[in-house]
Amino acid sequence: SVEASIPEPQRAAWQKFSAEPFNTKEQFEQEAVRHIETTLARSLYNCDEGAAYGGTALAFRDRMVIDWNRTQQNQTFADQKRVYYLSLEFLMGRALDNAMLNVQQKDSAKAGLADLGFRMEDIINQERDAALGNGGLGRLAACFLDSLASLNYPAWGYGLRYRYGIFKQEIIDGYQVEIPDYWLDFNPWEFPRHDVTVDIQFFGNVRKYVDDSGKQVSVWENGEIVQAVAYDVPIPGYATPTTNNLRLWSSKAASGEFDFQKFNSGEYESSVADQQRAETISAVLYPNDNLERGKELRLKQQYFWCAASLFDIVRRFKKSKKAWKEFPNAVAIQLNDTHPTLAIPELQRILIDQEGLEWDEAWSIVQKTFGYTNHTVLPEALEKWSVPLFQHLLPRHLQIIYDINLHFLQYVERNFPKDREMLGRVSIIEESQPKMVRMAYLALIGSHKVNGVAELHSDLIKTTIFKDFVKIYGPDKFTNVTNGITPRRWLHQANPRLSELIASKLGGYDFLKDLTLLHKLENYVDDKAFRKEFQEIKFANKVRLAKHIKDTNGVSVNPAALFDIQVKRIHEYKRQQLNIFGVIHRYLTIKSMSPEERKKLAPRVSIFGGKAAPGYWMAKTIIHLVNAVGAVVNNDKDVGDLLKCVFVEDYNVSKAEIIVPASDISEHISTAGTEASGTSNMKFVLNGGLIIGTCDGANIEITREIGEENIFLFGNLSEDVEDLRHAHFYSKFEFDPQLQRVFDAIKEGRFGDAGQFSALVNGIVEHGDYYLVSDDFKSYIDTHTLIDEAYKDQESWVSKCITSVARMGFFSSDRCIDEYAEMIWNVEPLSPTKKAKGV
Ligand code: T68
C-alpha cells in the first residue's frame, strides 16, 4: 500500500498534521478568512466582492486538492487501465459553483458568506469563464470530464493552456466586435508544475544509418526546441471523493545554453524575441468552429500538445516496468476529432525510433491504443495539412505517415485487387497541388474504433466520408455514441429550483447520478401542485433572463410572452438566417393586421445569441441583420409586446446557464444531415423547454425518447438534401410568396441599407441556396403557427414539458461515458478510498 512505503515515525508526523476537508459553515469561514487575510493580503476593511470570491475559491481549491492527491495516489497504486481524453478544447465555464455543488458544500459556503456580509450570487458572478473552446465540441469535453470523475473512472484530460480563450463579443452599432479574452490574471484553479516539463522539437532533419546489428535507424535532429510546462486543474466528481486531473500545456522557450550565449553576447533583444516566439504556440485558441484553415501555427499547437501529452503518458507507463505489449492494457487514448491525430505517428515514432520496436509490433500497439471521435461531415471542416508544410515542420512524422500509408495501401490492394481507383480515394495523401495529408483517414487507420456522436451522424459517416473504409475494415470498426450533457451543471447548477422540485418528488438527488430516475416524474404530470410549481419556476427563470436583457440591451421584454431562443455558434448550416427571416415574416404579418386581429396573437420574444468566427463574413452579416430587425421591431408602436427581437451579447457557458432554463421554445434548425448531434437541444428539454427542430443530429433521438407529440419537427429529410440542392441549379425557382415578401421588405430598406444584406439574400435567390432555406421556409413558419396555438393551451403545454423532462434520462453524459468505457476503452471504474486525507 501507499502507507507501507514510508517509515512509521514520519508517517505519524504526516498523519498528525495532514489537511482535512472542511464540512461546516464555520470551517468554511475560517478557511476563507485565512485566505483573504494571508494569501490575498486583504482585511475586513478592504475585502470587496473580488477578494471574497478569491477567498472562497481558494478555500474550495484547498478542499479539492486533498481529494485530488488522494485520488491520484489511489489510481497509481491500483494500476488499472487509464483513459486519456485528448482535446484541443475544454470549454469549462466557471469552476466555483460547480466545485461547491460537486463536493456538496454550497450551503455551508452560502451561510458562511452571508455571515461575512456577501451574497452567494454576487460572489459566483465575480468569476470569469474558462473559455478554452469554441462550442459544442469543447463543451462536450468538459461534460465528459465531469462524468468521468463522477463515475470514478481513472481518467485524465490533456489540452492546451491558451493565454487567450475564445474572444469576448461586443455588439457595436449592430456589428460584432472581438475583444481578446486575457483570462489568467487570477486563476485559482490551476497548479503550475514547473518541474513537469517536456522538450518539444520542430523542424530539423532526419539522419538515417545502419547500426551494428544491421538495423535501419532514423534520428530526428538539429531542430528547434520549445518547452512544454504542465498546469494541472482538479476536476471534482459529484458526490464522490474522486477528483481527476486536467493537464494543460503551456509553451515557453527552452532554457538551453543557446539563449544564454545570446544573452551574454549582447543579443538581449533577439533572446527575448525567441522567448516570445516560443510562447506564441499556446497563446491563442483558434476561433473557428467547423472550419479548418491550414495555418502553420495551428499545426504547431497540435504537435506541441500531442507530443507533450504522449511523452507524459509514456513516462508514466514506463514507471510500471511492464512490457510494451501491455501498453494498450494500461492506456486508452481518445481523440476528440482529428485535432490530436498527430499523437498516432508520434506514438509510432517513440516506439520504433526511441524504444527500438519493430514496425508491425509498434503499429499493433498504436491501433489498440487509440479511438477516434468524428464530429462533422462538413467538407470545409475536415482537416488537411499540406505535405510541404509537414515536411518542413515535422520531417520524421511525414516519413512515418508515408510508411503507414504504404502498409495500408498494400493491404487494400491485396484485398481489393479489382478496384484500382479505390487506392487513390482512400490514400492518406491526397494527390492535389500541393499534396495534402488527410487527417481523418490517418485518425481512422490508426484507431481501433471510430465513432460518430448521434445515430444519424454515425450512419452518415459510414455512407459518405468513410464509405470505402467500411468496405476495407468491415462495419464493426464503426460505432455510435450519442452525445450527452452533465446534469450536474445543466440542471442542478443552472436551474437549482427545478432540481430541488424534482428531488422533493423523487426522494432525494439520486437522479443527478442516474438520470433515468427522472422517469418517475411522469407520475406527477397531472399533479396540480407540482404543475403549478413547475410553471412558477419557468416564469422565475424567464424573469431572470428578462432582467439580464434589460440590463445589457436596454430592451424590456414581457416574461409572460413565449420565449423563443436560438443560442449557438453562428453558422449558415445552423440557419440562424431561417430564424430571422421567420421573425421578419411575423413582423410583416403583424403590420398587415387590424388591431382586433392583433389581439388574438400570442406575444413572442425572439432571442438570439452566439459568436461568429472573426473571418466568417456571412455569419457576421446574419448577426447584423438580427440587430437591424430588432432595432425596427422593438421600437414599432404597432407591434408593442407582440414581438421583440434581441441579440444577447457574448454568449458563453455562464450566459447559457441563465438562458437555457428560461426558454419556452428553442431552435435546432440545421439543414438535415449537417449538425452532427447538437447538445444544447438536450439542455433545453432537460430544463422544461420544448424544441422546434429539423430531423437532424440528436433531435431524432430526442424525439424517439420524449415522443413525437412533444416536439415540433419540420423540414426536409437528410436523404432528400442532395436532390433538392441539385434542383436549385436545374429548375427555375418560384420562391414561396411569404419568403419573397420577406426578401422584398429587406430590399426596400426597411431594416436599413439593403446592400448590407444582399449577399445573404442572393445566396438563396441566385446562388443555389446550399442550406435549403427556401425549401424549408413554409414548413418552418407553419410549425411556428402550431407553436403559437399550442402555447395558448397552457395546460397541455405544461404536460408536454414535464413529460419531456421525465424522458430525458438517456441524454446524461454519464450514459455516454459508460458506453465509451465499455465499447471503446475497455476500462472499469475504480472505487475511491472512503476518506479524503493526506498521505
Ligand atoms: C460540434 N462541433 C458539432 N466543432 O457541430 C455538434 N470544429 O453537432 C456536436 O454536438 C458537437 O461538436 C459535439 O459532438 C464543434 O463544436 C468545433 O468547435 C470545431 C473547432 C475547431 C475545429 C473544428
The Å distance, Cα 375 to ligand 1 centre, comes to 6
Residue with CA at minimum distance from ligand 1 atom 13:
137
Residue with CA at minimum distance from ligand 1 atom 23:
290
DSSP letters for 249-302: EEEEE---HHHHHHHHTT-HHHHHHHHHHHHHTTTB----SS-----HHHHHHH
Check whether residue 284 and residue 180 sit in a common domain: yes
Ligand 1 nearest atom to the CA of residue 457, by list position? 8
Would you give the DSSP letter of residue 709? G
The Å distance, Cα 457 to ligand 1 centre, comes to 13
Would you give the DSSP letter of residue 182? B
Whole-number pLDDT of residue 838: 35
Q: Cα–Cα distance between 381 and 376 in angstroms, integer?
A: 7
pLDDT tens readout for residues 742-786: 999 999 999 999 999 999 999 999 999 999 999 999 999 999 999
Smallest CA-to-CA distance from 437 within 397, 385, 382 is with 385
Check whether residue 710 and residue 799 sit in a common domain: yes
Whole-number pLDDT of residue 735: 84
- Mode of pairing for the β-strands spanning 191-202 and 643-648: unpaired
Ligand 1 environment, Cβ below 6 A:
134-137, 140, 288-290, 375-376, 381, 453, 483, 675-679, 697
Residue with CA at minimum distance from ligand 1 atom 21:
289
> What's the mean pLDDT in 383-391?
98
CA 797 to chain centre: 31
The Å distance, Cα 453 to ligand 1 centre, comes to 10
Whether 356 maps to a domain, the answer reads yes
Check whether residue 775 and residue 799 sit in a common domain: yes
Residue with CA at minimum distance from ligand 1 atom 10:
678
Q: Is the pLDDT of residue 693 over 90?
A: yes
Check whether residue 243 and residue 351 sit in a common domain: yes
Does residue 574 carry a catalytic annotation? Answer: yes
Please give the model's pTM, rounded to 2 decimal places: 0.98
Check whether residue 503 and residue 476 sit in a common domain: no
Pairwise pLDDT comparison (9 vs 615), residue with the higher score: 615
Q: Is the pLDDT of residue 435 over 70?
A: yes
The Å distance, Cα 801 to ligand 1 centre, comes to 28
Residue with CA at minimum distance from ligand 1 atom 20:
289
Residue with CA at minimum distance from ligand 1 atom 15:
137
Whole-number pLDDT of residue 836: 44
Confidence label for 209 from pLDDT (cuts 50, 70 and 90): very high
Q: Cα–Cα distance between 118 and 814 in angstroms, integer?
A: 35
Q: Is the pLDDT of residue 77 over 50?
A: yes
Ligand 1 pocket test target in 85, 166, 289 with most atoms within 8 Å of CB: 289
Whole-number pLDDT of residue 6: 85
Q: Is the pLDDT of residue 839 over 50?
A: no
> What's the mean pLDDT in 34-39?
98
Check whether residue 641 and residue 547 sit in a common domain: yes
Residue with CA at minimum distance from ligand 1 atom 19:
289
The values of phi and psi at residue 365, to 5°, are: -65, -45
The Å distance, Cα 721 to ligand 1 centre, comes to 21
Whether 673 maps to a domain, the answer reads yes
Mean pLDDT of the chain, nearest integer = 96
Does residue 418 carry a catalytic annotation? Answer: no
Whether 547 maps to a domain, the answer reads yes
The Å distance, Cα 134 to ligand 1 centre, comes to 8
Q: Is the pLDDT of residue 257 over 80?
A: no
Q: What percent of the chain has pLDDT over 90?
A: 93
Whether 64 maps to a domain, the answer reads no
Q: Is the pLDDT of residue 238 over 80?
A: yes
Ligand 1 nearest atom to the CA of residue 89, by list position? 20
pLDDT tens readout for residues 390-430: 999 999 999 999 999 999 999 999 999 999 999 999 999 99
Check whether residue 497 and residue 475 sit in a common domain: no
The Å distance, Cα 568 to ligand 1 centre, comes to 11
Helix (H/G/I), strand (E/B), else coil: 416: coil
Query: Which helix or strand (DSSP H or E) is residue 210 part of?
Result: strand 205-210
Whole-number pLDDT of residue 3: 65
Check whether residue 294 and residue 430 sit in a common domain: yes
The Å distance, Cα 337 to ligand 1 centre, comes to 8
Q: What percent of the chain has pLDDT over 70?
A: 98
> What's the mean pLDDT in 728-740?
87
Ligand 1 pocket test target in 88, 132, 134, 137 with most atoms within 8 Å of CB: 137
Query: In degrees to the nearest 10, what's the CA dihedral of 608, 613, 615, 617?
Result: -20
Whole-number pLDDT of residue 391: 98
Question: What are the grid coordinates assigned to 611, written together?
Answer: 459568436
Catalytic site residue from 339, 574, 611, 800 = 574
Count the domains in the chain: 2
Residue with CA at minimum distance from ligand 1 atom 6:
678
Q: Is the pLDDT of residue 306 over 60?
A: yes
> What's the mean pLDDT in 90-114?
98
Whether 465 maps to a domain, the answer reads yes
Ligand 1 nearest atom to the CA of residue 134, by list position? 18
Domain limit, last residue, from 435, 466, 482? 482
CATH number at residue 677: 3.40.50.2000
Confidence label for 260 from pLDDT (cuts 50, 70 and 90): low
User: By the 8 A CB rule, do 484 and 814 touch?
Assistant: yes
Catalytic site residue from 61, 110, 247, 375 = 375
Q: Is the pLDDT of residue 699 over 90?
A: yes
Q: Cα–Cα distance between 345 and 446 in angstroms, integer?
A: 8
Catalytic site residue from 56, 671, 679, 783 = 679
User: By the 8 A CB rule, do 441 and 428 touch?
Assistant: yes
Check whether residue 642 and residue 656 sit in a common domain: yes
pLDDT tens readout for residues 444-474: 999 999 999 999 999 999 999 999 999 999 9
Check whether residue 415 and residue 502 sit in a common domain: no
User: By the 8 A CB rule, do 199 and 227 touch?
Assistant: yes
Whole-number pLDDT of residue 44: 94
Helix %, strand %, coil % of the chain (to 5): 55, 15, 30
> What's the mean pLDDT in 722-744?
91
From residue 230, alpha-carbon distances to 133, 251, 540, 588, 636 in Å are 19, 9, 43, 57, 56
Q: How many CB atoms lie within 10 A of CB 487?
A: 32
Q: Is the pLDDT of residue 107 over 90?
A: yes
State the greatest distance between any 2 C-alpha atoms of the chain, in Å, as a whole number. 96
Confidence label for 729 from pLDDT (cuts 50, 70 and 90): confident
Degrees (nearest 5) of the Cα angle 140, 145, 150?
125
Whole-number pLDDT of residue 834: 55
Q: Is the pLDDT of residue 1 over 70?
A: no
Q: Cα–Cα distance between 13 and 2 in angstroms, integer?
A: 16
> What's the mean pLDDT in 164-176?
98
Q: Cα–Cα distance between 560 and 350 in angstroms, integer?
A: 62
Smallest CA-to-CA distance from 85 within 287, 304, 340 is with 340
Whole-number pLDDT of residue 267: 81
Burial 388-407 (b: 16+ CB within 10 A, else e): ebbeebbbbbbbbbeebbee
The Å distance, Cα 336 to ligand 1 centre, comes to 10
Q: Is the dihedral of CA 727, 730, 736, 742 positive or negative?
A: positive
Q: Cα–Cα distance between 516 and 89 in angstroms, integer?
A: 29
Q: Cα–Cα distance between 743 and 736 in angstroms, integer?
A: 11
Domain limit, last residue, from 482, 501, 531? 482
Ligand 1 nearest atom to the CA of residue 373, by list position? 14
Does residue 568 carry a catalytic annotation? Answer: yes
Cross-strand pairs, 666: 565, 691
> What's the mean pLDDT in 566-579?
98
Whole-number pLDDT of residue 256: 64
Whole-number pLDDT of residue 268: 82
Pairwise pLDDT comparison (621 vs 273), residue with the higher score: 621
Q: Is the pLDDT of residue 331 over 50?
A: yes
Confidence label for 229 from pLDDT (cuts 50, 70 and 90): very high
| Helices and strands in the chain, H and E counts | 34, 24
Residue with CA at minimum distance from ligand 1 atom 17:
289
Residue 552 belongs to what domain range?
487-811
Whether 65 maps to a domain, the answer reads no
The Å distance, Cα 293 to ligand 1 centre, comes to 15
Check whether residue 432 and residue 503 sit in a common domain: no
Check whether residue 546 and residue 474 sit in a common domain: no
Whether 25 maps to a domain, the answer reads no
Does residue 161 carry a catalytic annotation? Answer: no
Ligand 1 pocket test target in 139, 290, 817 with most atoms within 8 Å of CB: 290
Ligand 1 pocket test target in 288, 372, 376, 453 with most atoms within 8 Å of CB: 376
Residue with CA at minimum distance from ligand 1 atom 18:
289
Whole-number pLDDT of residue 361: 98
Ligand 1 nearest atom to the CA of residue 139, by list position? 13
pLDDT tens readout for residues 638-658: 999 999 999 999 999 999 999
> What's the mean pLDDT in 358-382?
97
The Å distance, Cα 692 to ligand 1 centre, comes to 21
Whether 632 maps to a domain, the answer reads yes
